[in-house]
């Protein structure tokens, strides 16, 4: 028996195409459903992660603020320590009031002080900064004469407590007597005298002088 197929071939091809399209559409729909379910399931975790990132950024900002405050506090602490060290040194060293009282008792009526200066390295170091020494100038080429070495300059603050007295007296013997009185004082020592010759001050004439002496520490009882 011979079977005859009167259906056109195009119909079979279209039927196969429709079946393939339905199958692919079903697969795509299934994938979309799974993706939606995955996004919904992980949406809470994503929100939690975003909140954690925001919190971390805030903590980083707080850390930066605390670091700036710490640097400012350390700078203030260093300044206060320097101030405390200055006060401690001022308390440990000779009192100018006691020193002037001792000088007034040892100075004769014929001796007049016109200027007084008290130098202390422990105090001056907080107010005077050492400037770098200038570089020596280059010697011009072709000159054979040697240049004399420069004299060492005095440091910006003294190496020890020092008292410098400038004044005048009726004659040189009065100055020498005043120097002897200073040498007997337990507060000063190593008195050096420099005469300035006749001077006039406030209408009075006399022999000018300048005395430089070392000031001893009163609390430690030097001398």
190 and 111 assigned to the same domain: yes
103 and 211 assigned to the same domain: yes
pLDDT of residue 130: 43
Determine the Cα–Cα distance for residues 97 and 94; give it in Å rounded to an integer: 9
CB 106 within 8 A of CB 165: no
CB 99 within 8 A of CB 215: yes
Is 210 part of a structural domain of the chain? yes
83 and 112 assigned to the same domain: no
Range of the structural domain that residue 124 is part of:
96-129+157-215
Give me the number of domains the chain comprises: 2
pLDDT of residue 112: 86
28 and 113 assigned to the same domain: no
- Residue 142 per-residue DSSP state: T
pLDDT of residue 221: 46
109 and 179 assigned to the same domain: yes
Low-confidence ranges of the chain (pLDDT < 50): 126-133, 135, 138, 141, 143-146, 152, 154-158, 220-223
């Amino acid at each position: 028996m011979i079977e005859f197929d009167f259906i056109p071939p195009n119909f079979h091809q279209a039927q196969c195409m429709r079946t393939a399209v339905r199958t692919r559409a079903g697969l795509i729909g299934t994938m979309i459903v799974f993706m939606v379910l995955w996004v919904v399931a992980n949406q809470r975790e994503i929100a939690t992660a975003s909140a954690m990132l925001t919190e971390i950024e805030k903590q980083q900002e707080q850390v930066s603020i605390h670091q700036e405050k710490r640097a400012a506090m350390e700078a203030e602490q260093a300044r206060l320590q320097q101030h405390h060290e200055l006060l401690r040194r001022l308390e440990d060293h000779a009192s100018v009031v006691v020193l002037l009282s001792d000088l007034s008792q040892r100075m004769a009526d014929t001796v007049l002080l016109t200027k007084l200066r008290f130098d202390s390295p422990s105090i001056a170091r907080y107010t005077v900064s050492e400037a770098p020494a200038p570089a020596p100038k280059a010697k011009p080429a072709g000159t054979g004469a040697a240049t004399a070495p420069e004299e060492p300059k005095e440091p910006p603050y003294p190496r020890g407590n020092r008292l410098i007295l400038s004044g005048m007296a009726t004659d040189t013997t009065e100055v020498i007597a005043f120097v002897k009185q200073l040498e007997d004082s337990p507060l000063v020592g190593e008195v050096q005298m420099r005469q300035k010759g006749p001077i006039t001050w406030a209408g009075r004439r006399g022999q000018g002088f300048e005395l430089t002496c070392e000031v001893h520490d009163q609390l430690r009882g030097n001398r």
